[in-house]
């Protein structure tokens, strides 16, 4: 499970970042770390990270803004975000979760707790993956005949509408053979 989900660490403190990176790598996780929210977004445009562990208070883009930015991006899957902070009031917790974080850990980090929360994140990502698969199976079942496996009338009507619009747009001929 750990191998299939790379983790992005966003932490401006180099000592904390290296310690977290080393601990997670020792646990068998694939880890990439950056020091700013801006770097994280740039990296996200090149590679998808299903797990993000980010510090709240960073210069420039803080962890809350990073959460908001990630949530607005069109990504291939769900991103489980863990927010790290020294803030521990209920109002801070609420602000972090409302910004898009899925979980919240206070510093100093308790590594067994972090690993338990990562396992929870992996479960959520696996559930999301199985839900996508089930939805795709349902979509296929809705457009095919269960006996023959051929496309059904529903598919024909959808596809025909699309092809008619395309033929009009490009001023092409259209034929239908049944």
128-165 pLDDT, tens digit per residue, is 999 999 999 999 999 999 899 899 998 999 999 999 99
Residues 43-93 pLDDT 10s = 988 999 999 999 999 999 999 999 999 999 999 999 999 999 888 888 988
Residue 5: which region, alpha, beta or left (left: phi > 0; alpha: psi -120 to 50)?
A: beta
Residue 176 confidence (pLDDT): 86
Burial 154-164 (b: 16+ CB within 10 A, else e): eeeeeeeeeee
Residue 178 confidence (pLDDT): 77
At 99 the three-state DSSP class reads coil
Residue 88 confidence (pLDDT): 81
More confident residue, 87 or 121: 121
Q: Examine the pLDDT at 3 and tell me if it is beyond 80.
A: no
**Mean pLDDT in residue range 101-106:** 93
**Mean pLDDT in residue range 1-10:** 79
- CATH placement of domain 2-133: 3.40.50.2300
d(CA 103, CA 88): 13
Q: Examine the pLDDT at 7 and tell me if it is beyond 90.
A: yes
Helix H or strand E segment including 51: strand 51-55
Written in H, E and C, the secondary structure of 25-36 is HHCCCCEEEECC
CA distances from 51 to 81, 96, 130 (A): 6, 16, 17
Q: Over the chain, what is the mean pLDDT?
A: 92
d(CA 133, CA 136): 5
Q: Is the pTM of this model over 0.85?
A: no
Residue 40 confidence (pLDDT): 95
The structural domains of the chain, with segments of one domain joined by +, span 2-133, 144-178
Q: Examine the pLDDT at 1 and tell me if it is beyond 50.
A: no
């Amino acid at each position: 499970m750990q191998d299939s989900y790379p983790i992005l660490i966003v932490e401006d403190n180099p000592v904390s970042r290296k310690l977290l990176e080393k601990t997670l790598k020792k646990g068998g996780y694939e880890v990439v770390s950056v020091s700013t929210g801006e770097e994280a977004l740039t990296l996200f445009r090149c590679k998808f990270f299903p797990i993000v562990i980010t510090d709240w208070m960073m210069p420039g883009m803080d962890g809350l803004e990073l959460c908001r930015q990630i949530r607005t991006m069109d990504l291939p899957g769900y991103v489980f975000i863990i927010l790290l902070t020294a803030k521990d009031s209920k109002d801070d917790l609420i602000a972090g979760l409302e910004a898009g974080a899925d979980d919240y850990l206070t510093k100093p980090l308790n590594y067994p707790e972090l690993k338990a929360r990562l396992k929870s994140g992996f479960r959520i990502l696996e559930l999301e993956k199985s839900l996508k698969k089930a939805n795709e199976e349902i979509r296929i079942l809705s457009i095919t005949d269960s006996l023959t496996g051929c496309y059904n009338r529903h598919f024909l009507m959808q596809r025909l509408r699309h092809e008619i619009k395309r033929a009009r747009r490009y001023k092409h001929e259209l034929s239908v053979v049944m």
